[in-house]
Amino acid sequence: MDILAQQIFNGLVLGSIYAVVALGYTMVYGILELINFAHGEITMMGAMVAISVIGMGLAAGLPALPLILLAMLAAIAVCMCLGLAIERFAYRPLRHAPRLAPLITAIGMSILLQNIAMLIWGKQYIPFPPVFPQGEHRLLGAHVTDVQLIILATTLLLMLALTLLVQRTPLGRAMRAIAQSQPVAQLMGVNVNRVVAATFAIGSALAAVAGVLVAANYGQAHYYMGFLLGLKAFSAAVLGGIGNIAGAMLGGLLLGLIESLGAGYIGPLTHGFLGSNYQDVFAFFVLILVLVFRPSGLLGERVVERA
Amino acid sequence: MNARKRAWLAALALALGLAVLPFALDGLLGPYWVRVLDFALLYAMLALGLNIVVGYAGLLDLGYIAFYGVGAYLYALLASPQFGIHWPFWAVLPLGAALAALFGILLGTPTLRLRGDYLAIVTLGFGEIIRIFLNNLDAPVNITNGPQGITAIDAVHLGSFSLGRRQEILGVNVPSTVLYYYLFLLCMLAVVFVSLRLENSRIGRAWVAIREDEVAAEAMGIPTRNVKLLAFAMGASFGGLAGGLFASFQGFVSPESFNLMESIMILCMIVLGGMGNIPGVILGAVLLTALPEALRYVGDWQRHLLGRVVVDPADLRMLLFGLALVLMMLFRPAGLWPSRRRQREFAATGEVAEQEQASLFDARR
C-alpha cells in the first residue's frame, strides 16, 4: 500500500512537470502546427541559468528565498529571449514554407542550443545547490520532500494561470482565434506576428520554471537533459490531444503516473521477466495503445475528414 | 552527336567516376575518407528507403532507424560467434530485408489510421521500444548481449574471398573499405533502380495520390490501407538491407547506433536534399554524412585564423552542424534539389488561392 501511494505521488510530481513543458509544445502546435523540437532545450537552458545565478548569489551571501526568486526570474528572462529569438529567426521566415522545413530548423536549433550549453557549462553533471527547503514528510504512507510539494504547488498555479490567460484575456482570445483560422483572425484585426511571439514567450517562460524545478528535484542538471524531457512532454501533449491545453495537462499527469507505476509494478506483473529498465517501453506502449483507439488523443477534437 | 549517344557517354563518365572515386579520395584526403564514403552510401540507402514512406506516401516516420537496427541485429545474430551461427551473407541480407519489412507491416497495421504528427509520435515510440529491447534483451536469456552489443561479426565473404581484409586484384592492392565501397555502391544502385521503377509505377502514383489527398485517392478506388502498408514495408526493407551491410562492415553492433537522433538525421537528409527526388535525397545523405567529418578540420582553421585553438573542434562540430541545418533550410526551404513537380508547386503557391489538403508536402496557407 505504501509503495502504491509512493509511486502515485512520484508520478504526480513527474507528471506535473511534463504537463507544464507539454503546454509549451501544445500552444505552439495549436497556432503554427509546428513541433517545436527546441522546446526541451529551452527547459534545459532555464535550469542552467538558474544554477549559475544561484551559485553567484550564494557567493555574494544572499538569503535563500530572494535568491530562488531571482534565479527563477533570470531563467524566465533568458528563456523568453531565447524563445523569441528562435521564433523570429528560425521559424517566422519559414511560416509559409513546406511543413517539414521548420521541423528541420527546429531540430537544428535544438542541436545548436545543446552544444552552446555544453560549451558554456561543460559536459559534466552540474549539482543544483540546496537552496530549496530540504524537509521530508510522510503523507498517506508516502515519503514526500519539500521540493516535491513546491513543484506540485507551482505547477498547479501555472496551469491555472495559463488557463485563465487563454480563456479570459484578449491575448488568449487572439491565440484561440489564430488556432482556428489564421486568415480569418487576421481579417478581424489580430496581429498574428505579435500573438505568435507572445505564445513563444509564454511557452518559454513555463519551460524555464519547469527546468528549474526538474533540476531542483533531481539535484542536478546536464546539457543533454532537455532532450528526453522534451520528448516525454511532447508525447504527453500528443496523448492528451495536441493543440488542446487541457489535454496537455491531462496527458502530462497521466504519462507521469504511467511511468511511475510502470516502473514500480512491471517487475512483479511479469514475474521478474521485465525489469524497471523497461519503464520507457511501458510509457510508449500505453501512448501507442491510446492513439490506436483514440487517434486524436484523449481530449483532441476529431479531425473531420474533408468531403 | 545525337542526344542518345550523349546520354550514353554521360553514363559512362559517371560510372568511371564512381569506380575510381575511392582511390581518388584515398589519395587526396586519406584512407579515413573512404570509410566516410562507405557510410555516405549506407545513409543514402536509408534515406532512399525513408523517402518512400515520407517523400512518396507522405507519412511522417520518426522511428525509421528501428528497421536499420532490425537488419543489423539479424545479421549480427546469424553471422557471429554470439550463437555460433555463421550463415553466408547472400542468405542473411535478404532475410534481414524481409524481417524489416515484416516489422514495417507490424508497425503499420495498427497505426495507419493516425494522421500527420500523431503518426510521427507513434513511429518515434516504436523506434524507442525496439532500441530499449535491444538494450535489455541480455536477461533473462542473453540474445542481444545488452548495451555491450555483439562483436566479431563475420565480414561479407564468398569462399575464401573476404571483403574484411586487403585483397590483391589484378596486381592492385585494394583495402577492405574500398571493397565494401563497391558492394555498397552495387546495393545502392539496386535501391535507386527499385525507387525509380516504383516512382512511375501504378503503386508509386497511388502513393503520390494518397499524399496529395487521401479521400480523393480512396474515391478513385485505391486500396489506401494496403498501399500505405506497402510503403511502410518497402521503405523498411531498404532499411533492413542497409542494416545488414552496416553490421558486416562495422563488425560490431550496439543499441547506441540506433537511437532517435539517427532517425532524425535521416529525415534531415531527405528534407534537406529535396523530398521525393532521388538525386536530391542522395545529395542530402552524402552532404550530411560528410559535413560533421569535414567540421573536424575546424581546429586547423582556428590555428590558421587566430594562431591557436580557442575551442576544442570536437565540441564545436555539432554546434556548427546545427547552425548549418538552420541556415540551409532558411535559404532553401524546398531542399537543395527539389523535384520538378515541387519546384512548380513552390513557384505557384503565391497564386493558388485555396489548397486542397494540408499534406506534408504542401506549402501552408
Q: A84-115, pLDDT tens digit by residue?
A: 999 999 999 988 887 778 888 888 899 999 99
The secondary structure of B279-325, three-state, reads HHHHHHHHHHHHHHHHHHHHHHHHHHHHCCCCCCHHHHHHHHHHHHH
CA distance A295 to B8: 51
- CA of B324: which chain A residue's CA is closest? A108
Cα B84 to Cα B78: distance, rounded to the nearest angstrom: 8
Q: Which helix (H) or strand (E) holds A49?
A: helix A39-59
Q: How many CA atoms lie within 13 A of A205 on its CB side?
A: 12
Q: Is the peptide bond before B140 cis (omega within 30 degrees of 0)?
A: yes
Q: What is the 3-state secondary structure of B111-147?
A: HCCCCHHHHHHHHHHHHHHHHHHHHHCCCCCCCCCHH
User: Which chain A positions have a beta carbon within 8 Å of B355's beta carbon?
Assistant: none
Over residues A248-273, mean pLDDT: 83
Q: Is A128 left (phi over 0), alpha (psi -120 to 50) or beta?
A: beta
Assign A302 a pLDDT band (cuts: 50, 70, 90).
low
B12 Cβ partners below 8 Å, 6+ apart? none
* Angle ∠(A223,A224,A229) on CA atoms, nearest 5: 120
The pLDDT value recorded for residue B292 is: 83
Closest CA–CA distance from residue A292 to any residue of chain B (Å): 6
- Give the residues across from A98 on adjacent strands: B363
What is the end-to-end Cα distance of chain A in Å, rounded? 53
C-alpha cell at B189: 544502385
pLDDT at site B355: 43
Q: Give the closest of B121, B264, B311 to A235, CB-based.
A: B121
How far off is chain A from B342, nearest CA to CA, in Å? Answer: 10
On average, the pLDDT of chain A sits at 88
pTM as predicted:
0.85
DSSP state of B276: T
Joined grid coordinates for residue A101: 522545413
Among left, alpha and beta (phi > 0; psi -120 to 50; other), residue B61 is: beta
The Cα B336–Cα B325 span in angstroms is 12
pLDDT band (50, 70, 90) for residue A273: low
**Strand partners for A126:** A221
- Residue spans per domain, chain A: 2-293
pLDDT-derived band of residue A195, with 50, 70 and 90 as boundaries?
very high
For domain A2-293, the question of CATH label 2.40.50 is answered with no
Neighbours of B13 (CB within 10 A): 10
Looking up cell 498555479 gives A157
- What's the confidence (pLDDT) of residue A306? 36
Report pLDDT for A271.
65
Minimum CA–CA partner of A104 in chain B: B268
Q: Dump pLDDT digits (tens) for B214-259.
A: 889 989 999 988 999 999 999 999 999 999 999 999 888 989 889 8
Helices (H), chain B: 3-29, 32-50, 65-78, 89-111, 116-136, 176-199, 202-212, 214-219, 224-250, 260-273, 278-294, 298-306, 313-331, 340-348
B287 contacts: CB under 8 Å, gap ≥ 6? B269, B272, B273, B336
Chain A positions in Cβ-Cβ contact with residue B329 (cut-off 8 Å): 94, 101-102, 104-105, 108
At what angle are helices B32-50 and B65-78 packed, to 10 degrees?
120
Please give the single-letter amino acid code of residue B294: A
Mutate one of A37, A99, A280, A293 to test the B interface: name it (highest B CB count within 10 A): A99
Contact yes or no for B322 and A110 at CB 8 A: yes
Residue A294 confidence class, pLDDT cut points 50, 70, 90: confident
C-alpha A250/C-alpha A293 separation (Å) is 17
For A105, B325, B335, the CA distances from B331, given in Å and listed in that order, are 11, 10, 9
b/e for A181-199, b at 16 or more Cβ within 10 A? Answer: ebeebeeeebebeebbbbb
The ipTM is 0.84
CA dihedral A179, A181, A182, A188 (to 10 degrees): -110
Please calculate the CA angle B144-B149-B152 and round it to the nearest 5 degrees: 105
Q: Which of A90, A112, A292 sits opposite B319 (nearest CB)?
A: A112
Report chain B residues whose CB lies below 8 A from the CB of A114. 318, 322
pLDDT of residue B354: 39
Q: Does B357 sit within 8 Å of A278, measured CB to CB?
A: no
Q: Return contacts of B350-355, CB within 8 angstroms, 24+ apart.
A: none
pLDDT tens digits, A7-56: 899 999 999 999 999 999 999 988 888 889 899 999 999 999 999 999 99
Positive or negative, the Cα torsion across A220, A226, A232, A234? positive
Among all residues of chain B, which has the CA nearest to that of A96?
Answer: B364
Tell me which residue in A90, A118, A291 faces B326 most closely, judged by beta carbons. Answer: A90
Q: Residue B348's pLDDT is what?
A: 60
C-alpha–C-alpha distance, residues B101 and B233, integer Å: 4
Task: Work out the pLDDT band at A79, boundaries 50, 70, 90.
Answer: very high
**CB < 8 Å to B361, chain A:** 98-99
Residue A252 has pLDDT above 50, yes or no: yes
What residues in A contact B347, CB-CB < 8 Å? none
> Exposed e or buried b for every residue in B329-365, given b needs 16+ CB within 10 A?
bbebbbbbbbbeebeebbeeeeeeeeeeeebbbbbbe
A306 with B357: Cβ contact below 8 A: yes
- Asked if the model's pLDDT at residue A157 lies above 50, the reply is yes
By Cβ distance, the residue of B129, B326, B358 closest to A105 is: B326
Per-residue pLDDT of chain B (365 residues; tens, 9 = 90+): 678 888 898 888 888 888 888 888 878 888 888 889 999 999 999 999 999 999 898 888 888 999 999 999 999 998 887 787 888 888 889 999 999 999 999 888 888 778 777 788 888 888 988 998 888 887 777 788 888 888 888 888 777 777 777 777 777 777 888 888 989 999 999 999 999 999 889 999 999 998 888 889 989 999 988 999 999 999 999 999 999 999 999 888 989 889 888 898 899 889 888 888 899 999 999 998 988 888 877 777 777 777 666 677 777 778 888 888 888 888 888 788 877 776 676 666 544 433 444 455 554 43
Q: Given this model, what pLDDT does residue B365 score?
A: 39
